[in-house]
Amino acid sequence: MPFHVDSETGRLKRVILHRPGLEMKRLTPTNKDELLFDDVLWVKRAQQEHDIFAALLRSRGVEVRLFGELLAESLELPAARALVLDRVFDEREYGPLATEPLRAVFDSLPGAELAEALVGGMTKREFLERYPGPSSLRLHVMGLDEFLLQPLPNHLFTRDTSAWVYDGVAINAMRWPARQRESVHFEAIYRHHPLFAGAAGAPFHHWSEPDGGHPSTIEGGDVLVIGRGAVLVGMSERTTPQAVEQLARRLFAAGSAHTIVALDLPKRRAFMHLDTVLTMVDQETFTQYAGLGMLRSYTIRPGAGGRELSVTDHPPEHMHRAIAEALGLADIRVLTATQDPHAAEREQWDDGCNVLAVEPGVVIAYERTVTSNTELRRNGVEVLEIPGSELGRGRGGPRCMSCPIERESVD
């Protein structure tokens, strides 16, 4: 199988990144909250910082594939194009008078132009400058500068929308409306792009988009492939217990994993995903935010029947023990920088724990998280630093901004 991720720390071979583009230029002080950002970015500087991140990965022998290019190439294929447009242009969104005319116009665009519009968004004014508007009540009541198609700035965080877990890929149902369209883009890529043609036999640990208010949502920032057939999952404000059970059932049925440890995270913005407070730096070592504390955890294993699950409840003080047991270890090493509570909170907000391992004991981190990086180095971890003064405004670090699709196996 050409695509396989069986750990957080095996030598990284291939990864998907998304370079900031038009969608970031759409962020304003008025719409940033709706689009899940705490601030607007200086886009040119964010692009420069992202280019440094990609160049560093390439210098370590990692093949970097850019999401925008993969999407544009996929959209040249009729099946992928139909998959995306059928999901995006829905009568429930645009009404019966506008849906088909809009879909036809977007279907006429070349792949690269269509990809930019799908990710970067399009206003009514931009649309009418090029095409006559259909006679639609929905369009008539829109302001000229309202978005006909909302931008998707969170595509920057390729970790969340899809996640390779051992021998398969999960295309995730995202929690908030601002991110839900992202999933269909990755589904089109994985199902139809030539790069993934050889992965056609890989299990799809797949969720549909949220429908009818059902709360089964899960995001890749909460999913850590810790190795040895185990997965660590955070039940956060964006990943629900129901979705964790679904993930467990699919992984166990496919024979992809044998154990899931689920941590009950605080349901707050600062603890958005598990990887904002806990990531892995080698096969036995984690870096953890001091303010996380110890959490109630649950070990999930296959039950007696084909669809049964066995769940063991652990008190908070056993959190690290539950993770170690899932890995078949006597204990794990947990590194936490010693700081006063205010400094620790600031550094966690700057993604001090959100590191990306490029091989065991070698991680990429933001240069601004000085104390956390120093603590890692003091414990023998090599830290490769990148600037993040603008990228960090999105509340996501190197792990958030990367979707590994292939790692070397580790013992």
Residue 273 has pLDDT above 90, yes or no: yes
pLDDT at 279: 97
> What is the chain's length?
411
The CATH class given to the 12-67+153-407 domain equals alpha beta
Per-residue confidence band for 343, with pLDDT thresholds at 50, 70 and 90: low
Residue 203 has pLDDT above 70, yes or no: no
Task: Determine contact, residues 242/215, Cβ cutoff 8 Å.
Answer: yes
State percent of the chain over pLDDT 70.
92
In whole angstroms, what separates CA 161 from the centre of its chain?
Answer: 4
400 is catalytic: yes
Per-residue confidence band for 337, with pLDDT thresholds at 50, 70 and 90: confident
Task: Determine contact, residues 280/381, Cβ cutoff 8 Å.
Answer: no
Q: Could you give the angle at which helices 78-88 and 99-107 cross, rounded to 10 degrees?
A: 150
Domain 70-149 has CATH 1.10.3930.10: yes
Residues of the chain within CATH 1.10.3930.10 domain(s) are 70-149
Q: Which of 204-213, 242-251, 297-306 has the lowest mean pLDDT?
A: 204-213
Among 16, 117, 358, 400, the active-site one is: 400
Residue 212 has pLDDT above 90, yes or no: no
Could you say which DSSP state residue 200 is in?
A: T
Model pTM?
A: 0.94
Residues of the chain within CATH 3.75.10.10 domain(s) are 12-67+153-407
